[in-house]
Structure 1
């Protein structure tokens, strides 16, 4: 049986998810934390397999807290539940290391999401899945020039603008422009 901890300051997860999860044969809620601080102090003791986080809880920075949990407990899988569907927020959260992104009150199928997670999937609400797919469907792609490729390869190796400019005999502004055009 996979164990689950909840992090929320309200009652949404406790009220809507805990009964459904605990009625399943494969999952059980073993802890409910009111904030990240309490969770960090107690996760090591309860050591859940999965954490469900209500990302709408107030904190210094929810995304930083998720990263912190992932750094300390990389083996624990995290799914967030939120009402927030802003593009930047969605991708910041997904980049923080969560494996699932569910929209609260959107026909929440928590058991299906947990099963998908355990099968190696990344459960996401329909609107979020579509947002992720559409982010890859930029139809204005153009082929990079040889010089742009060289600059981008050096940038991915952590080289500074000045170092790249010097190495490729181009201006620092050229490097900066290529970086801005192709990496933002």
Structure 2
């Protein structure tokens, strides 16, 4: 069973997502919170009595008291194994970009269908498809200012220069939001091979999450080369 916590300041939204998650027999909701601080308090309470923590959190971006970005940063620092999916809409893309740096594993649109929501939770849990192709590219592009080559960009390009040809190919496809299975099909290799390649890329780039490959790719201006 994959345990899920839902964090949203709108009770109807929390109930809706809970009903969607309940459609999948391999998923179960173990908690709901109305804002980021309430979520952090709930995690602390679970830890205090040695109860299991959620594997995946669905986190709204905009909330009172503590928003999703600040909550994500705090949670990932204290509980790095928890995967966090941000709940967003198109008009919040610029704001949501900050969640990538905070450690979020990706994004889901709030109008996501039940099957896609459950699939995304499974994928994030397995460390696979944590990018949402419909919006991730635009989120990253909007969130990174258009600037000329900088020292930071040069340093990042040097890090990408340490990747082999296949690793660069995979990094490029990850930045486009493709899943391991989609990358495997595109490159005519096995999904396990893609997974191992992604792990090597993360190690060489000194990145924590798969989504950071995409962030660093755009920051380095690799998409313009």
TM-score, length-scaled by structure 1? 0.65
Give the structure 2 partner of residue 118 of structure 1: 125
Residues 134 and 88 of structure 1: is their aligned pair in 2 closer, same or farther, counting only changes over 3 Å? closer
Asked if residue 73 in structure 1 is aligned to residue 79 in structure 2, the reply is yes
Give the structure 1 partner of residue 27 of structure 2: 27
Give the structure 2 partner of residue 83 of structure 1: 89
SS class of match (2:134) = helix
Give the structure 2 partner of residue 38 of structure 1: 38
Residues 42 and 86 of structure 1: is their aligned pair in 2 closer, same or farther, counting only changes over 3 Å? closer
SS class of match (1:20) = helix
1:105 to 107, 111, 127: 111
Q: Could you say what the CA RMSD is over the residues aligned between the two structures, in angstroms? A: 3.5
Between the aligned partners of 1:134 and 1:10, the Cα distance in structure 2 is 29
Shift, 1:79, TM fit:
0.5
SS class of match (2:103) = coil
C-alpha deviations, 1:61-106, integer Å up to 9, x for none? Answer: 5322210111111111101102254554233111110112112115
Between the aligned partners of 1:55 and 1:133, the Cα distance in structure 2 is 15
Shift, 1:30, TM fit:
0.8
Runs (4 or more) in structure 1 with deviation over 6 Å come to: none
Shift, 1:37, TM fit:
2.0
| Equivalent residues of 2:83, 2:125 under 8 A apart | no
Equivalenced residue count is: 149
5+ residue gaps in structure 1? Answer: 136-141, 157-181
Give the structure 1 partner of residue 138 of structure 2: 131
5+ residue gaps in structure 2? Answer: 143-147, 159-218
Structure showing greater radius of gyration is 1
Give the structure 1 partner of residue 7 of structure 2: 7
Between the aligned partners of 2:93 and 2:20, the Cα distance in structure 1 is 30
Between the aligned partners of 2:140 and 2:38, the Cα distance in structure 1 is 36
SS class of match (1:41) = helix
